[in-house]
A and B are shown apart, each in its own frame.
Chain A
Amino acid sequence: MRLLTHNFLRSNVKGTENGYPLNIEVTTINCEDSPLDKSFLLNLLPKVNYPALRTAVQQISQHCVPPLKEIPEQLDVSDKESNQNLDHETLKNLHRVLFDVYLIEGWLVCPDTGRKFPVKDGIPNMILHEDEI
């Protein structure tokens, strides 16, 4: 699972509306290198929840070898036009955190109920138990 996916996942156990963003507990993590696809990234950025991304990066950064480069503390990504003006270094770092970091084993924890969703072989298991529907 990459942070791109994590950015959209939430917990809705018993209808809680405060299950986003999920906290990440890392057991095993992998870092790869993929080429930056600028147009895809620019297309995607307005849909990304930036504060959630930043929190996620802070939670996993220590586990990454080499450690992840810092992304800006605050960034308004909602406007496609202004995103074009982001400097190359920032875009590269954003690409890296969104696409190149794979959580292989770990947990996604609901910030409201504490329910832990397992991540195994890189696949998060979000299925709610029958008493959580």
Chain B
Amino acid sequence: AEAEAEAEAEAQIDSELDAQAKYNKDTEHNNHNPIKPYHERSWKITIHTLGSTYTRQEQNEMRSKFSFLQFPGPVQMKHPDDEYLFIREVELDAMGGAVYPRHCKGEDGKTKKELIPENDARPPLACYFGRVLGNGTLGRNWRGSNRLFRYSLKKRTYLGPTSMDSELSLIMTNLAKVQKGSFAFDPFVGTGSILLTAALRGAQTFGTDIDLRVLRGRNPNENIVSNFQQYGLPPPELVRSDNSIYHRHFRKHLPLFDAIVTDPPYGIRAGARKSGSRRGDGEVRPVLEEYRYDHVAQTRPYAVSDVMADLLNVAAMTLVMGGRLTYVIPSMLDFNEEEDLPRHDCLKVVSVCYQPLQTELGRRTVTMEKVKEYDDRKRDEYLEGTWVNGPQSAEKVANIRERLIEAAKKKPGYEEKAAWRKQKRKETKEAKKRAKLEGAERSQFQVNQFNRR
């Protein structure tokens, strides 16, 4: 039976290699990197022990447990043909450290000293073993450049303060099962960074935003469309519209989108706004006809609780059955995944991935799937049912910016740091001013030279 399993695994790998070879023939890049047959491929096993350290010897003991796989090729630690990854998962705290650390901390809080036997004896939460398909070393093509690095934000022509890093965007579009032929939608498209990764996966893309400046970019060479052109991708469809009144901008239509992937505005780095007058008294002055052409429509603050309620409702309305909504939500330590996530009768939570950012702040990538058809008549019901704990849960997300500032103010040394930062900003501003004047003087000098001739 073991021999059979081995033969099956070999056949599986061989057929993968055949597919790979065919793919390589069709692409230009890999003529310098022919696929080796299975028994010649060098390999190594990488060990990831999250939140814990193991000595080289301990790691090798773990590696030897996989000797039954009997890879025929030679072991090669640097740039092997195949890399296998073993991950040993233990409980982690909010900062990514082990809840039951193997070693006790040294005096400086860092150096690992003795083993804590009870912690060391604890069984892992889970173990994972698999083959690495692409990463820092394997992702390189024959020119040596890392495929993933191509999409790094550092190389993007148009960026904004809210552009999502390419790694998280790729993960989000993966979670939303965006693939070739999908129709992907981002209702808060911003600079288009998430939509771009959807297009990379072969999807048709559609994005809306209420902010016209960010949609149109800085100039014709620095905008969302130029980002797509930078990667040779077909351009997205973009509309300036208000997601809180999606049903008023768009006709009633059959479910359209396979995936909705977005980073909603939480008021941390960009305030959320919706259409309508800022006047609290309900009296709206009519826009005079002669000014209507140039009129900049007023917008008013859009509460985070409503942002999420509207997002889930639009998703329930416009996703096809089985379609997915993936979004990011910032959360502080008091966030309870069971109770505080927004809900919708038509959507089911598929996964929640927590990423710690600072001691008290993290973000969750939530994926939901449409499991029930949307009923127009229940719109108000759906919206009211978003927050199980009522506005309290929404508040946990809404005031993060203020809470972070408050928390930072309480830390020791805050005032000195704030004063230092202020001084630095002043210096930078003055240096810029000086450079500008010198530049102007120089060009004036050149103009004078020219005139003298």
Query: Which residues on B are within 8 Å of A, measured CB to CB?
Result: 181, 183, 204, 206, 210, 212, 215-216, 220, 223, 225, 234-235, 237-242, 245, 248-251, 253-256, 275-277, 284-287, 292, 295, 297-299
Known: A34-B234, A121-B216. A129 touches B239 (CB 8 A): no
Nearest-neighbour CB distance to chain A for B229, whole angstroms, equals 12
Task: Give every chain B residue within 8 A of A9 (Cβ-Cβ).
Answer: 239, 249-251
Nearest-neighbour CB distance to chain B for A23, whole angstroms, equals 15
Other-chain contact of A40, B204, B212, B225, B286 (Cβ < 8 Å): B204
Q: Is the CB of B250 within 8 A of A8?
A: yes
Task: Give every chain A residue within 8 A of B254 (Cβ-Cβ).
Answer: 46-47
Nearest-neighbour CB distance to chain B for A132, whole angstroms, equals 8
Q: Is the CB of A2 within 8 A of B275?
A: no
Which secondary structure dominates where chain A touches chain B? Answer: loop
With the chains together, A121 CA to B212 CA distance in Å? 11
Interface residues of A in 3-47 (CB under 8 A from B): 4-5, 8-10, 12, 20, 34, 37, 39-40, 43-44, 46-47
Q: Is the CB of B249 within 8 A of A12?
A: yes
**What are 7 A-to-B residue pairs whose CB atoms are below 8 Å?**
A1-B239, A12-B248, A40-B204, A123-B239, A126-B240, A127-B297, A133-B284
With the chains together, A123 CA to B236 CA distance in Å? 10
The answer to whether the Cβ of A120 comes within 8 Å of any Cβ in the partner chain is: yes
Q: Is the CB of B250 within 8 A of A127?
A: no
Q: Is the CB of A47 within 8 A of B239?
A: no
Task: Give every chain B residue within 8 A of A124 (Cβ-Cβ).
Answer: 239-240
Residue on B with the closest CB to A21?
B251
With the chains together, A120 CA to B256 CA distance in Å? 25
Closest 5 CB pairs between A and B?
A: A12-B248, A130-B277, A130-B298, A47-B254, A125-B240
Q: Is the CB of B204 within 8 A of A127?
A: no
The answer to whether the Cβ of A93 comes within 8 Å of any Cβ in the partner chain is: no
B-contact bits for A77-112, CB 8 A (1 contact / 0 none):
000000000000000000000000000000000000
With the chains together, A125 CA to B294 CA distance in Å? 12
Task: Give every chain A residue within 8 A of B223 (Cβ-Cβ).
Answer: 121
Q: Is the CB of A2 within 8 A of B237?
A: yes
Q: Is the CB of A126 within 8 A of B241?
A: yes
Residue on A with the closest CB to B209?
A123
The answer to whether the Cβ of A64 comes within 8 Å of any Cβ in the partner chain is: no
Task: Give every chain B residue within 8 A of A4 (Cβ-Cβ).
Answer: 237
Known: A4-B237, A9-B239, A39-B181. A123 touches B275 (CB 8 A): no
